[in-house]
Structure 1
């Protein structure tokens, strides 16, 4: 009874020490890259510590018993299976999901609290771009256990509108052609839907165009808007010279 209590107290102390170590690992004064490596590897380190503890308990409890070798082998086999499942569960879940769902890059997916556009399909996880521009890496096993809503590529595209000002020295139709060409040549807009362009204001110096186009996120829409502004700013400078 006393020996059992000794093991129990030791296990509780080890548990709290590992919890404290996991919190301290988050505050290590190092680069973000190395801190991420440490945090990713900590669960394996923790598992190795528990494996060593269990082996120590078995060895201490059985001593020179004839069952020591069998018990040690069984413990090592169990921990080996746990480690294998830790690495293989996401890989297996990914194969199953890719078989059931035809994932495509830039396609929107909603699964529980995750909702965004697919940016990368890995072997063990996929990367989503959220509406606020954040990139989230999600293991396939976390998605497989949830209800999944996968939108068609056409439905994943969102309409955006921007205002472009061009010099009156550029004919209206020429300006529209330039806008259409520049939008479709960017890697952020869809080529399946041609931008809708209309003149909304005309002055002696500039014409203002409302441009409606489709992109997969607000972040990319902002990039397209900035690109159009840069194009017509440069053309305005050319006309002045």
Structure 2
């Protein structure tokens, strides 16, 4: 499924405007299945499991992952602490080894968890992007209302979204229906994403990003714009003929 098609399909379910200092900056779509194509994909499989330290290398796509408090790279599940995102409906497409697809079921590869602010006052998972972006997607596992994703341009908050805004029932469902692929677009470029959670935990994997903003929903296709331009030119010529007649 193309990135544009995915956005249009998801928009039928969820489309929101962010609230906060820059209320019009963020919009997003959320769907149980599907993953974008035509953008940069990162699965975090090169990071060391339980390697919650600043010594983690850059990912192959250039993302720097920073940990605080009880955040870390995990694999599998730990009761009461974290559970892997669920793969279904093609949301693992392109995120497997060598660019292949991941099989449906519980994610068996490394993924990221924020830990909990209740377990560590400064717990957070921070992604420092290799350049400013205007699109970011992630596989958001067992969505809880108290999960929060904040977007920054340097130290300036661009906007934030919560689990309560991307799922109808954000109750930590660990099955396929509780995992969402969330696509976030912004009118303001951002270079840092911070994930936090007031409880155990905010788990995610399989992020996607690009440099330029994706086509806005409802914007005419290039062919339509070309026809419109040709029509305007023709109209102008017709008016000129009448003026000289």
What TM bracket, shorter-length normalisation? under 0.3
More helix by share: 1
More strand by share: 2
Question: Could you state the TM-score of these two structures normalised by the residue count of structure 2?
Answer: 0.19
Report the structure number with the largest CA radius of gyration: 1
Question: Could you state the TM-score of these two structures normalised by the residue count of structure 1?
Answer: 0.20
Greater relative CO, 1 or 2 (CA 8 Å, sep 6+): 2
